[in-house]
Amino acid sequence: DAKTTQPNSMESNEEEPVHLPCNHSTISGTDYIHWYRQLPSQGPEYVIHGLTSNVNNRMASLAIAEDRKSSTLILHRATLRDAAVYYCIGMKDGGGSNYKLTFGKGTLLTVNP
Amino acid sequence: EAQVTQNPRYLITVTGKKLTVTCSQNMNHEYMSWYRQDPGLGLRQIYYSMNVEVTDKGDVPEGYKVSRKEKRNFPLILESPSPNQTSLYFCASSPTGIGINEKLFFGSGTQLSVL
């Protein structure tokens, strides 16, 4: 997996946008960037993923830098339910013995009312 | 409802007493995996399975065993638990484990304490 670096924690206010950064300078050309989040006392859940272009879904948007060395997860209007640990992961294509996923420490997002 | 089910949710045991944590998925997924989560260390993969009777080590396999006799079940076995295996454990599955477009589905976790 590509090594990723995220801030330990971030804080936001409710109803405001949140931009969660991730650096993945060692990413290869075929590595996808996946984001998961883990709500308190729950297992991680999928948020979004992408390769080169920006991606949107009902949960969030993913902006990937042109050089692919960094990406940003965007929550357009943070709610209290978005308070969680967010993990950025580089997933290597090919599977098999390469399918070892290391989630790292992630970013703890706090949302203030 | 599509889900990954782990049991038990909480488990307290003593050193050396064999235990099994069960994991079952109802999505007909081929790929299943076990993780442990420790404070400050994030999620680390223990074992994974690409299909029935096919298993392989993750990053921290020492002290654990797994088996995959049927597609839906992937139990985690601790033959002789030790206190350093006290952790929060998660089971996960995905359709094939090969496609980079696939999502991982996680269970709710098992909090294990070994005294």
Q: Write the DSSP string, A29-63.
A: TTPEEEEEEE-TTS--EEEEEESSS-EE-SS-EEE
State residue A97's pLDDT score. 45
Question: Letter for the amino acid at B67?
Answer: S
Complete edge-to-edge strand list for the sheet that includes strand B76-78:
B4-7, B19-25, B76-78, B65-66
* CA separation for the pair A82, B101 (Å, rounded): 23
Stretch among A27-36, A90-99, B69-78 having the lowest mean pLDDT: A90-99
Q: Which residue of chain B is at minimal alpha-carbon distance from A43?
A: B108
- The answer to whether residue B1 neighbours chain A at the CB level (below 8 Å) is no
* CA separation for the pair A40, A81 (Å, rounded): 10
A55-108 tens-digit pLDDT: 999 889 999 998 888 999 999 999 999 999 999 987 665 444 445 666 778 999
Put simply, the answer to whether A93 touches B107 (Cβ < 8 Å) is: no
Task: Give the other-Cβ count within 10 Å of B107's Cβ.
Answer: 25
Q: Give contacts of B42 with chain A, Cβ < 8 Å.
A: 87, 102-106
